[in-house]
Chains A and B, each alone.
Chain A
Amino acid sequence: MVSPILLIAVPLGLAFITPLLGLARKGAPRYVPAVAMLFNLLVSVSLLPDALRAPIVVRTAGWAPPFSIHLVAGPLGLLLSSLIALIGLLVAVYGMDYIREGATTRYHVLSILILVGATGVVLTGDVFNLFVFFEILCISSYALVAYWGDSASVEAGAKYLIQGAIGSSFVLIGIGLLYGAFGALSMADIAANVSSVSSFRLFVSLAFLITGFGVEAAVFPLNAWLPDAHSSAPSSISAILSGIAIKAGIYAVARVVYTIYGAQSILPFVALLSVATLLIGEMCAFSQNDIKRLLAYSSIGQMGLIVFGLAMASATGVSAALFVVISHALAKALLFLASGYMILRTGSREVSSLNGMGTRMPLTSLCFTVGAFSLVGLPPFVGFASKFMIVRAALETADTFFVVLLAIALIGTVIEGAYFLRIVQGLYFKPAPQQAREETRKEPPLSALVPVGVLAALIVAVGLYPGLVERALGAAANDLLDRDSYVQNVMGD
């Protein structure tokens, strides 16, 4: 059996060597991210069956867990790392031809590292190590947001940098307080002793950690950076940021709240925040005319839905939230990748400039429509299955509070339907603008069509057979909720 730590070490080594490859052969670096992610996808998927039986605890430097850093490759970690590798691979293939200008070698280095950071976040079992990988994820995304170098993207990058740095400082303070209270950094070690510290001290450190990770997770009111950052970045990076990076933030919040603190009492508050996030995201998306900003705001809305599912603290609720994580990652990556070439061909990010694209770029438009319908939650796409599971979970709690919040969340879905259907109507039933360029009749190259097509196929396939992921989802939800066995798995041997 291969060690899960290779999921981090091998792409990291490849990222280090990429600048050297770039000096030797100018075209070589663009293939490296795809190689790294293909490796990660194969390893993650091959380890998943083992992890479903029992989490794989990996020690570093040869010492048993509390005395050195360890990874915990459980069902949740490997499910997410497979998702990261899958989206990363497709985006890497897309980026081969899409990224032609600027410092391309450095783009490819950073695009590997952003994925290494996300993989490290979901696999680590040590709270300071979590911070280190979180920084790798965040700092590479700050630079990539500013990649195009025009004043809008530099401004968005700076805004993201400032808010992200404040968030990271909060995380660091929270970890400092935790270390002060427990003298330990292993999550399992802290979780085992959590009841031995006064609730005030716990609350202060938890508040710092949730606020800090909440910035990256784009939970209201910490999400002011997101619309600018996600819309100014190259479309391939927008797909990673929306599809993966914010999920890493959510994962960190969930891991801290559930595993380390077992803090069920703050969940009603989190549920309120999540519904506020959802409504605000969807309403802002509704009023956008810029397609990428619209998609970015819609990501905020979907984050709200994910946090809502997590806040239910039931096995079905958490599974449903993880299912939305998957469905949103697939759909939003698809939408950003498809719209990337549409924007490139039309030269405009206005929603109205997409009018008539259904006949000009039929394949891209068809895939875009699949993604949009899935996000709205229309059957038979995966978005329907995941949203349905959220509804089922909320009704299963039989708690008036959650049922009322669910009703509000469903209003958000109606708004979502309104703006996505408006775009799809424009694609197929409105004439193209008079001055439409001739090149809008050209489909994107194969390196872009294949990832977009694969994502659309996955959305349909998982939508038709939710059973493909159901078992892994259940085990992953259990991984998050069952603190005792988490502690036992890590500290036991």
Chain B
Amino acid sequence: MNLVEVKNLYVTFGEHTVLDDISFTIERGDIVAVIGPNGAGKTVLIKTLLGILKPASGDIVFKKGLKTGYAPQKLEFDRNFPMTVEEFMLMQSHDRIIFPSKEGKQKISTLLDEVGVADLGLKKIGDLSGGQLQRVLIAASLAGDPDIVYLDEPSAGVDIGGEQTIYHLIDNLHKTRGLTLVLVSHDIDFVYRASNKVLCLNKRKLCFGVPEVALTAEVMNKVFLEMATPYHHKDHEET
């Protein structure tokens, strides 16, 4: 069953086309990995699917009553603002912050436990490490009992050891909750191991399908050579 169907999607910023004629479908139970070089439009695609950005043209059809969760790549907020993890989770699950319901508090403690940060409820959200914050964001994305969750670079700001733990957690959540997941990832090992669909993006759609089939040598070259292109610093320019 299709949860999301994207047809001929174009997104523009002024005169710049950021997404150029993108079409694909997401089915229930999919783990769709979105890969591509920096500036390929991965985050723009996620934000457009979430309704944060408006497409210039094209259609996005959602299954009726689809509930969505989202963990952003970077959470822009005042890190000195006094808000605890528990308050953040209550806010995201539409429970009361001042007089939270018993069920609401219980649910939050279960969610935090599920992502392995059960002891962080009373900690200020600005005091969390990169890995802890990612886990809390993943827990918050589950607060509304979503059918589909979008995770934008869930391993951003996490050290190398922690990265594997985050991907292991995502894999686990998919298996235990049967969630449909769309995640931006640069971890090719995870893409092969855990995702059942891969969308290669570089403004245009370069591939879409089962990783073993879609990621041909030609596509890999197009996507990953561009990802690996060294930064050309102006100090090193020949004069």
A binds B: no
A residues at B contact (CB < 8 Å): none
